[in-house]
Each structure stands twice: as C-alpha cells, then as structure tokens.
A and B are shown apart, each in its own frame.
Chain A
Amino acid sequence: MGRARPAAANDGAPPERAADRSAPEDGRSLFREALTALAIFAVDPGIGLRLAARAGPVRQVVLDQLRAALPEGVSMRKMPTGISQAALLGGLDLSASLQAGRPVLERGVLTAADGGIVIAAMAERMGEECAGLLALALDLGTVPIERDGISAEAPARIGVLALDEGMEPDEAPPDALCERLGLWLSLDGADPRGAVDEDGNLAAGTILAARSRLASVRPDETAIETICQAAMAFGIVSLRVPSLALRAACASAALAGRRVPSRGDLDAAIRRVLLPRAVTMPEMPGEDATEDEPDDQEDRAPPDDPPPPDPHMSENRDPAEIEPQEEIDVGAMEATLPADLLASLAAMTRPPLQRAGSGRRGAFAERARRGRVVGTRPGDPRRDRLDVVATLRAAAPWQNLRRSERAESLPGTAHRPLEIRSADIRVRRHRGKTETATIFAVDASGSAALARLAEAKGAVERILADCYVRRDRVALVAFRGTRADILLTETKSLTRAKRSLAALPAGGGTPLASGILAALDLAAASARDGRTPLIALLTDGRANIALSGAAGRPQAMADASDAARAVRARGIAALVIDLSQRPSDQAREIAAALGGTYLALPRADSKAVSDAIAAAPRGPTPLGASRS
C-alpha cells in the first residue's frame, strides 16, 4: 500500500531512485510553472490555491506578483490562524464593546472578502472550526449570519489561498479545506531569480481580460471526458476535484483567449489539480501489488475486492513507492490517457508537493485534537487548573448587569470591583489526558519473526479491536530490509489500520534501530499533541542491520540499544513482545533498554498480548514544554 514513507532514520538518504528523479530540477522553470498556476488562480480565485512553501522571500515574491496581477477592487485579506468564529462571520467585537460600553459590531472577514481572496496564513495550524466555515463559504458562496433572532445569509464568494507551511509529516491544512482547494502548488526548489513571466500571463491587463472572457469559455464533451478519465485513472474518488480541474482548464483557456479549453489547457489543469492528489498511477485492472509478496501467503487472505482508492493516500505519494507501478503500467496509461498528457507526466516525475511525499495523513481527526492550547471549559478549579484570563473574560460582559442586579436585590451592599460567579470559572482543558495512542512497531524481517509474523498480526488485530472499543488511536510502523516504514500514522480508523496490517509483507534483515526510532518519532509527535503514547514493539530482538543500513549484528544491536535508550530518555512507555520461538535474551535486553515491559508472545494466544497492552503502564507525558 502506498502509505509508506521512508522512515525518519532514512530521511537523510532517500532511496536512490527518488533522488535521481527530483535532483536536476531547474529552479527558474519551477518558478515559472508556479506563476502559471498563479495566473489561473487570479482569473478564477474560486478554484482555490494551496501553496506549500515556507515563509520567505520566494513566497513573498509570489504573493506580490499575485497582488499586482489582481484587478482593482479584488481584495486580498489575510486571515490569522487563530481567528475566532465571530471574526470570521462578523458579530460583536467584545474588546471594543467593553471599551466603548456599547455594542460594537465587526464585519466578518468572510463577508468583507466577498469577491476577493482570503489568505489563510499557516493553514497547517488551522482549526476545524475555521476550516468548516471556510468550506461552507466555498460550497455555498454565502455565510450564515445570526444576530438578534434574525437568521440571514450574507454573500461570501471568496477564493481561498492557503499558505501551507507544514514541515512535520503530519502537518497539513484540514482535509475539509484541502479538498476544496483546486490548485496545489509547491514552491519547493523554485527560484525567482532571473525567472520572468514569459507569457505575460500575470500582467494585470491579461488577468482582467481573461476574467471578462471566463464566462464565455465553455468546455466541450471531450474536455469533461478527459478530466473525468484522468481523475479516475489517478484514483481520485471525490467528484468535487474533477469539477475544480474543469474550472482550472476554463481559466487557462480564458488566459489564452480560447473559447473552448484546448488539450494544453486540460493538461495544465490535470497537472496542477489532479496530479498532486493522485492516489495511484493508472494501473491494470485486477492487479494487486500486495499479492505478489511470497511471504504474505499464510497470513490473512487479501480482501476479495481490490481496496478502494483511499483519498488520503493521495497526499502520500512517495516517489519510490509509485515508480515501480509507473514502469509496470505504462501500457495501461497510454490506453486511458490522452497522448500529450503522457509527455507532461514524464516531466512531472517529482511529486509537485514535496512534503506530500510523506505518509503524513493519520486520521483527519488528528488535527481536531492538535494544538497546544486545548482550550478552557467551565469547571471546578479544585480539580483542574484555573485559567484566570478566561475566567475574567467570561465574567467581563456581565459586570454591569450583575452590579445592577446586586443593587436591586441587596441594596446597600458594598460595590465590588468584580462580580464573579461560579459559572464564570474556567479551567484549562487537557484533552490529551484521556487520549492514548498505541504505536505498533512490527518486526517484519525474514528472521525468526517470519515464523510468527502471522501470530503477531493476529495479536495486533486483537489489540486493534480493543483500541476500537476504547477509542484509542493506533499507528503502525513496520521494519524490514534496511529501513522502517510508517504504514499508518495515528488513526482511530480500524478499517485503515486493518488494511495496512493485512498488506504488510515480510522478509529481509532486521533494522531494529530504525524501527524503534520511527516509532519514537510518532510517539513524540503524539505526546506533543497532548496524548499519551505507548510503543508496542513486536520483534525477536535479533537486530542485524545498523542504523546506517549496513549489515552487521554487533553494530545493529548497539544501535538498537541506543535507540531504545532514546525512547526511555523521552519518558515514553514501551512494551516489547518477543516474537522468537522461545524467549530470547536479545528481546529482553531491548526491553530493559527501553525501560519497558517484556512479554514473550505466547503460543496462539493473542488475547494475553491484548490484555498486556491494556494493562501496560503509561509513562509520564514527556516533553514538559509541550503544555502551555
């Protein structure tokens, strides 16, 4: 399954083939490429743009170019990350109101931006609430306004430019938003120096003319068919995406002054809208990449139906992962795609969103739980920590009211500077307290593990079933050969966990250290988000591949011990389940280095393992700095 990514330990040295494919890119041509996408967005901002780039001069140049290209009257408004719902939709400006002593209304960013562009800064940190409202505005072109018992809708025909600065594998704007942003563009490697907008597409005059022509551009049957066909070939499930691609093709045609999108326009749209989300490269029907793994046979039979395309995998493109398929399936691709698309595909050997190559997506829900400040809630300060500011803020609006109430009910009592009632008390919310994440690191090497991998899978499935009941999150790391792969970032979805497990092949060496470090990465990220991680390491402990990827047992064991100690140093709880035929010293040593529990996998009794996980002590949440 395409969920894997090179483990952190391998990040420094990506698989060779991937390096070959992305190395000789011309920064200038990449930048020009970006400008073309920008021009499409400027013509029809409703398509939406997700711009993956770090803050910096290159991105600034791009934003400046966009600003200059937009016709007068089209606004560009920046929306801060932590924007409140009131600020988005409009409503009472609390601080201004308190200061003025009368209600001061503010106009919502979304309605104020009607007809213009909203720039979402640091979109990877955007909250669900904000993404939900943006999605609503993008879907409907209006936002709800509720005030004084009046419910109305205000126009909010906006274009969204999401500045995605995510660096960590699991950092990305909420899916609800990404889905609705047509153009996905990465500035990675783009170099504005000396790059000029050759076609002059971004000239304000061109954009203005294209905008006025846009309404008269009509896609013909072929255009719609080509885009739908390409979307299907890329395994894109959503029907919203081809619609967005069609709009992009029309905008591209409007730029060129065509009334009907040409092949070139379609090509441009497919490359900038569809390709970055590709789940699969076009493949032969009935071919299942997991089936030809000889070691997998005795495990659970592959599901009867081919696994449905997973929309999340779209962002998990791993060059090394896709390439073999690409080679195998060239014939199929020719059959289903227009010829000139092939040429452009060949040029696009690098995934357009570099960061997207990582197996970042866990459940969407992850972001719902992310963020250091998990918020406040009414509560009892004796049990939770009091949040003074939030309490004062809750009390503030009622001061006048309460004073007059007090004056009425108890005339003559002393004036109090502050009227705080128990209902105002706010305590800090630590959502992570109740949430746990179990990170499985499964040894899928060919050594002794092979004999018992089926049992290990059985055990993991069993635990998964328990996790499902307990609403725990699970993540899955497998290590074999020379590297560790994150098969599944944290998720609550049993379906996905089971699917990645079933597809887990075995064979090769035992890069135990890489496996432990990959699990540690996930665990640390989980702890940062306020959850309590537990690493469950299923291995026979017979490490024979060192961190460097070189074979050799002594070095491999030393590396594994070091890695295990790193886990211990971070205070992350761990559990070693020994997969060897009979209990081994190696696995016991690793358990000791981890400071965790050791458990020999009992013969054909996965329930005991599952019980052990449930009973495993959870270490103290590490990284004290993560709480704010």
Chain B
Amino acid sequence: MRIAFPFAAIVGQDQMKLALSIAAVDPSIGGVLVFGDRGTGKSTTVRALAAVLPQMQAVRCPYHCDPARPDEACDTCRSQSETQRAQSSFTLQVPVVDLPLGATEDRIVGALDLERALSAGEKRFEPGLLAKAHRGFLYIDEINLLEDHLVDLLLDVAASGENVVEREGLSVRHPARFVLIGSGNPEEGELRPQLLDRFGLSVEVRTPGDLKTRIEVVKRRDAFERDPAGFVAAYEAENARVRDAIVAARDRIGSVAVPDESLEKAAQLSIRLGTDGLRGELTLMRAARALAALQGDGEVLWPHLASLAPLALSHRLRRDPLDEAGSATRVERAVGELAAA
C-alpha cells in the first residue's frame, strides 16, 4: 500500500483544504473545482485527503454499500436482510479515486467484463471508476482537458447519485454518490461556463510566492520521500486533529441554525453579483453551515458567509471575457460593499 503525503503537512493551500474539509462534512455540496498552475500541490492535497477522513462501514459488494442505508444500496445489497449485510460488513477507508487523464468512458462508467464474456460466455458488468468512488471522492486532474461529454456525464452522475449503464446489451444501474473534485490550469483551456456552474465550490490555487514557503515545501517533500512512514507518523497527531474536527462537524451540522438574516444576506450577495439561478445561494448557505459546524458555531453568521462567498460564487459570475479583474476579486468587492451597507 502506498503512503500518501500527510494532509496536515501541506504548506499553505488553506482555501483548498477548507473547501475539501467542507465537502467532507457535507458531501452534498456539489463538488469542488480547483484551478491553478502545475506543480502547486493540487494532486498532493487531494490524495492526502483520504487519510483525514473517518473510516466507514461497508458491505462486501462491488459498490461497498453502507450497511445502515439499504435505501441507498445496490440491488444485491437491497435484497439482503439486515443481518446478512451486517455480517458481511467491514471497515473501509473512504475512497479517493484518481481518474487518470485520458481515461475512457468504459473505464469510468464500467463496461461488459470482456474476460468473463470470452471465457465463460457470460454477460457480466464490470464496474468502473464511478463504482469505485461511491461514498467517497472522485478526483480528476486536468478536468479542463477532459472531453465535455465526459464532464457532463460525471456531473450528472454526481448530481443524481446513480450511474445508469445502457450499452452492449447491458442494463445496469448502481449507486454512485461521490464528491467530484476537478483540477486544472485555466491557461491550458477553460471549462465551459455551463459546466463551471455545476460545481459547488471553486478554489484558485496559487503557487507560494515567497522563498521561505517554497523552501519549506521542498524540504518537507524531501523528508517525505526519504522516509515516508516516519514522516507520516510525525504528522499523525495533526492529521488526527483534522479528522476529529470533520467527525465532530458531521455530528453537529444538523443542529446548526440558519437565521433569516443570514439567508437574506446570502440572497443580497447573489443579487448584487448577478449570479444566475439559486444554485449559488444554496451552495453558499450549505457551505456556511458546514463551516460553522467545523468551527463549532451554533448558527450561520455573516463572517461564515463572507469568507466562503468567493469559493461558492466566483465561478458562477457571468463571465465578461474582457474584464481583467478576476471573478474572486469581484466577489470580494461585493462582500465588502455588503458589509459596509
């Protein structure tokens, strides 16, 4: 088993870590989009995520269904009795699945099991990466280079929580609830605006500009490569703190109150920015609730909204291709104006 770089040892990248933590607390947030240059640690951060997620109970089936939630389980698990499910359940690390660039549609949605068909003349479905990512995270590096129809498909499945395969004489549907994490470099091609809006949060990752931080990054990387196990052990306590915070927030989130005043603020912010539809507002509220839960606050207040507005709204602004100011700047400006109003 390979060892991932510890989440807690990642220098900087606070916004990205925040967005991922929020998605871990409330997976219904709708995916996270990360934009930034190559080699700024996007992949490292996502891959480090698995280790700070609490382990989960799973049934031994291709979709590692939740034994406690038969309503969300696959057909096989649903037909089993509760005791059967409980008997076959085991503890599993939350999956964080890497979708390599250029992965084919077959590999993503699943396809006929060729081996089986050849040898036994049997028609059987071989689950793809979507099945593997069920109940976890699906990470796509360079999502802006993925063909649009695949991005569409991924977003559809992520939204519906179900993967429907109708091909090669197969008709399969199976649960696929996952948080989609996409990353890419906007300089190499942009994502269609229609797709942008479908992500819950977006983060812009910048490479640390100061020498000290950069030295620290390289130093930790070097230490990790020399002795991965030792390095991970050194950060385990800090990783555990992050994990505990996520677990605690999950328990608390149901009781976080959303005062009318905050709802109104969120609406005002969206109107001011002219974001289309209600998706932005809803995501902002949800994310703010998760943040309040993470911070141990009982209700959603303006500071939560203000700090998350760039993450939840900046990718939803109607893009003016001739406007030099970044979207994040425009959101921050609107937040400032609203705070002053």
Q: Pick the residue among A92, A311, A397, A465 that contacts B38 (CB under 8 A).
A: A311
User: Which residues 274-315 of B sit at the A interface, judged by CB distance below 8 A?
Assistant: none
Query: What does the 1/0 interface line of B90-115 toward A look like (CB < 8 Å)?
Result: 00000000101111100100000111
User: Which residues 146-185 of B sit at the A interface, judged by CB distance below 8 A?
Assistant: 167-169, 185
* Nearest A residue (CB) for B43: A139
Task: Check if A242 sits within 8 Å of B117, measured CB to CB.
Answer: no
Interface residue B215 (Cβ < 8 Å from any Cβ of A): yes
Interface residue A19 (Cβ < 8 Å from any Cβ of B): no
- Residues of chain B contacted by A363 (CB below 8 angstroms): 187-189
A179 to B118, CA, bound (A): 40
- Residues of chain B contacted by A464 (CB below 8 angstroms): 321
Task: Check if A494 sits within 8 Å of B190, measured CB to CB.
Answer: yes
Task: Check if A140 sits within 8 Å of B101, measured CB to CB.
Answer: no
Interface residue A586 (Cβ < 8 Å from any Cβ of B): no
The smallest C-beta distance from B242 to any residue of chain A, in angstroms, reads 22
Task: Check if A246 sits within 8 Å of B222, measured CB to CB.
Answer: yes
Majority-rule SS of A interface residues: helix
Q: Pick the residue among B98, B101, B121, B211 that contacts A128 (CB under 8 A).
A: B101
- Residues of chain B contacted by A620 (CB below 8 angstroms): none
Q: Pick the residue among B39, B168, B187, B219 that contacts A493 (CB under 8 A).
A: B187
Query: What does the 1/0 interface line of B314-334 toward A look like (CB < 8 Å)?
Result: 000000011010000000000
Interface residue A175 (Cβ < 8 Å from any Cβ of B): yes
Q: How large is the interface on A (under 10, 10 to 19, 20 to 34, 35 or more residues)?
A: 35 or more
Q: Pick the residue among B142, B186, B321 that contacts A465 (CB under 8 A).
A: B321
Contact of A421 with B169 at beta-carbon distance under 8 Å, contacts A129-B104, A228-B211 already known = yes
Interface residue A260 (Cβ < 8 Å from any Cβ of B): no
A400 to B120, CA, bound (A): 9
Task: Check if B218 sits within 8 Å of A224, measured CB to CB.
Answer: yes
The smallest C-beta distance from B189 to any residue of chain A, in angstroms, reads 4
Task: Check if A132 sits within 8 Å of B101, measured CB to CB.
Answer: yes
* Nearest B residue (CB) for A134: B100
Contact of A140 with B2 at beta-carbon distance under 8 Å, contacts A176-B142, A421-B169, A495-B186 already known = yes
- Residues of chain B contacted by A135 (CB below 8 angstroms): 100-101
Task: Check if B214 sits within 8 Å of A232, measured CB to CB.
Answer: yes
Q: Which of A97-105, A529-537, A577-585 contacts B (4 or more CB under 8 A)?
A: A97-105
A229 to B215, CA, bound (A): 8
- Residues of chain A contacted by B1 (CB below 8 angstroms): 153
- Residues of chain B contacted by A140 (CB below 8 angstroms): 2, 47, 98
User: Which residues 387-420 of A sit at the B interface, judged by CB distance below 8 A?
Assistant: 397-398, 400-401, 404
Task: Check if B98 sits within 8 Å of A495, measured CB to CB.
Answer: no
Q: Pick the residue among A240, A312, A400 that contacts B39 (CB under 8 A).
A: A240
Task: Check if B39 sits within 8 Å of A129, measured CB to CB.
Answer: no
B40, B62, B101, B226, most chain A CB atoms within 10 A:
B101
A139 to B42, CA, bound (A): 12
Interface residue B37 (Cβ < 8 Å from any Cβ of A): yes
- Residues of chain B contacted by A131 (CB below 8 angstroms): 101-102
* Nearest A residue (CB) for B40: A239
A94 to B186, CA, bound (A): 39
Query: How many chain B residues touch A (Cβ–Cβ < 8 Å)?
Result: 58
Interface residue B221 (Cβ < 8 Å from any Cβ of A): yes
A151 to B62, CA, bound (A): 9
User: Which residues 292-311 of A sit at the B interface, judged by CB distance below 8 A?
Assistant: 303, 310-311
Query: What does the 1/0 interface line of A131-164 toward B look like (CB < 8 Å)?
Result: 1110110011110101111010100000000000
* Nearest B residue (CB) for A241: B39
- Residues of chain B contacted by A491 (CB below 8 angstroms): 189
- Residues of chain B contacted by A240 (CB below 8 angstroms): 38-39
A148 to B120, CA, bound (A): 13
* Nearest B residue (CB) for A378: B167
Task: Check if B207 sits within 8 Å of A238, measured CB to CB.
Answer: yes
A504 to B30, CA, bound (A): 41
* Nearest B residue (CB) for A424: B168
Task: Check if A103 sits within 8 Å of B127, measured CB to CB.
Answer: no
Task: Check if A423 sits within 8 Å of B121, measured CB to CB.
Answer: no
B1, B98, B188, B214, most chain A CB atoms within 10 A:
B188
Q: Pick the residue among B114, B187, B192 that contacts A310 (CB under 8 A).
A: B187
Task: Check if A129 sits within 8 Å of B101, measured CB to CB.
Answer: yes
Interface residue B132 (Cβ < 8 Å from any Cβ of A): yes
Task: Check if A231 sits within 8 Å of B189, measured CB to CB.
Answer: no
- Residues of chain A contacted by B142 (CB below 8 angstroms): 132, 176, 364
- Residues of chain B contacted by A175 (CB below 8 angstroms): 38, 188
Known contacts A242-B218, A243-B222; 7 further A-B pairs (Cβ under 8 A): A92-B118, A129-B102, A140-B47, A146-B126, A149-B126, A238-B38, A401-B121
8 smallest beta-carbon distances between A and B, as pairs? A238-B39, A129-B102, A132-B101, A240-B39, A132-B100, A465-B321, A128-B102, A364-B188
